[in-house]
Amino acid sequence: MESKNNSLNYDVVSDLFFPKEGELDQLFQSVVIKEEANRTTFLPYKKNDLVVWVLELNSFSKNEQQRLFNFLSREEKNKSNNYHFEIDRKRYIIGRAVLKQLIAKYTKRDVHSINFGYNSSKKPFLVPNNHNLQFNLSHSGELIAIAFRFDDMKIGVDVEMIDPSYDYDLILRDYFTENEKELISQFGYPAFFKIWTRKEALFKAQGIGLTDEMRWTTVLRKKGMNSLKAFNQTFYCKTMHFNLKYYLSIVSTTSLKSVSYHRYAVMT
């Protein structure tokens, strides 16, 4: 059991007052996915690259959503039709189809040949994976984030829409360490959402879902350190602010000093 007196050993400034407002908005590189009748564009990458794509649902027209729907397998189309709310259906279609499209462009494969397997926590992985590609997807509100690595290092991403009215007391009890709860009690909902995105990204990088182990696993860095320890490994974490409405966290087992960020756009 952690002691509350240990909270001063954590780098509160780095973990709670970084990121700056709107920081992620300034980091996007201009990339357009262009589809032409007889040619498919491919996306270059280098080994050890880490790439984050951000998709804004309100930027997709109905025609574009229908075009993306055609990228889905029969099973994926059936799953999309089972969603009760239209926003959930739209989020699934766009997230899954763009994920497949980007993988196809990175691996120079036909989008209809992209298939996934699933681990015991239902985390998808590419089958077959001849390019050693790792990926992770997250969504919240009108935003979808997809992170890619092109090596065998672990990667996790989580995005959360900031809701000042959200009642997080039950989640605090089940999934946060004592030090994390103390910091959230001091700094309120901004601290909650920053820490929560880091926790989700960390556990997704490890390939597991929400478990009781979250209660004992902190995502606060020790003072003066740029990494954190979890699952007997070293992880690096970066948290950013987007559009004044979201926090986005990336976690990986290698340094996050050189990450490229792309806002997904389409030109037909």
User: How many structural domains are present in the chain?
Assistant: 1
Between CA 29 and CA 18 the distance in angstroms is: 21
Q: Which two tokens stand for residue 188?
A: 């309120």
Q: How far is CA 181 from CA 15, 187, 195, 216, 262, in A?
A: 14, 10, 10, 12, 33
Between CA 194 and CA 200 the distance in angstroms is: 10
Helix axes 62-69 and 86-107, enclosed angle (nearest 10):
60
Judge if the upstream peptide bond of residue 19 is cis by omega within 30 degrees of 0.
yes
- Residue 121 makes CB contacts below 8 A (sequence gap 6+) with 207, 208, 209
pLDDT in tens, 29-43: 655 555 543 445 788
Q: Quick one: residue 141, left, alpha or beta (phi over 0 = left, psi -120 to 50 = alpha)?
A: left
Output phi, psi for 87, to 5 deg. -65, -35
> How many C-beta neighbours within 10 Å does residue 69 have?
17
For residue 24, pLDDT beyond 90: no
pLDDT in tens, 112-129: 999 999 988 888 999 988
Supply the pLDDT for residue 243.
81
pLDDT in tens, 177-204: 998 998 899 888 988 999 999 999 999 9
Containing structural domain, residue 21: 4-267
* Short-list 9, 15, 8, CA closest to 220: 15
CATH number at residue 185: 3.90.470.20
